[in-house]
Amino acid sequence: MFNDGETDVFYAQRWFYVLIIALLLLPVILKKELAELEWCSWVLFGSIGLFIILNLWELTVDKNFQDEKSGLSFDNDIWVPNHGFGRTLNAVSVTMVAYSYQCNLFPIYTSLKDKNNAQYMKTNNYGLILTCAIYITVALISVAMFGINVGSVVLDDIGTARHNGKAFWEGYATQFSFIVLLACHIPFIFFAGKEGLLIMLDEYDRKSISNALFHKLYATNATFEKENKDKMPPAPTLAIPGGEEKVMEFG
């Protein structure tokens, strides 16, 4: 959104925005439960909705953009990938990454009101359908706005679009909505990494995961019980998980 020569100031540098976002998100990313980030999800989807509405407005209502646009037309090959197999394959891989939320599978499950497989599958299906709809909508709007010239990063096309040498006001608003959207993604991504790091530290210090698995297998697997009858659990001083499972006698 900056013109040539305007990117040398500190507030146009990436480190400045990264620092601001880090400070603002610090109390958010340290939440203990995924359910505590519910408000962040609403803000995230609100920013996505604003992103789509702004671009639809620019495409269909803003007469200045209609004079400049080079998008939707049936007399060219905008519906056929014409940038080579490599770029098409790259687009597919990026789309697949959008569905890679496995790292948060267990936190999502434990945050459900009704913790069962049927409820999780229902939640999962709704999420996949909504994600697919958002990606298709954004893709179609982008093609309609910029046609075959749309770049790999549509924000670059939105930010560089000009009318009489001036950027569109929708472009500024769109960039802001995307900043909010990106910021709301960070807590969920960080949550999985934070949980993994804490689990590793806890396992190194107290062996609580190994201890829980040992008790679970001992209480439910006859072969494991027989083979480990005279062995102590990894952390004998820790309480037996659940408290109501099979009584263990070590000696």
Domain chopping of the chain, boundaries: 10-205
**Mean pLDDT in each 10-residue stretch from start to end of the chain (251 residues)?**
59 78 84 83 90 86 68 52 63 66 77 86 88 86 78 77 78 86 83 84 89 87 86 83 53 43
| Residue indicated by tokens 């990264």 | 18
Cβ proximity of 37 and 31 under 8 Å: yes
Residue with tokens 């549509």: 154
**Measured CA distances, 242 to 104, 181, 207 (Å):** 23, 40, 17
Tokens (6 digits) for 241: 């998980």
For residue 94, how many other CB atoms are within 10 A of its CB? Answer: 11
Which pLDDT value is given to residue 76? 53
State the pLDDT at residue 73. 52
Say what the pLDDT of residue 201 is. Answer: 92
Q: Which two tokens stand for residue 234?
A: 């990894």
pLDDT of 58: 84
Give, to the nearest 10 degrees, the angle between helix 169-206 and helix 208-220: 70
56 exposed, middle or buried (CB, 10 Å; 0-12, 13-18, 19+)?
A: middle
What pLDDT is recorded for position 247?
Answer: 44
Q: Are 46 and 165 in contact (CB under 8 A)?
A: no
Query: According to the model, what pLDDT value does residue 35 have?
Result: 80
**What pLDDT score does 86 carry?**
66
What's the pLDDT at 250?
Answer: 46
Q: What are phi and psi of 14, to 5 degrees?
A: -65, -40
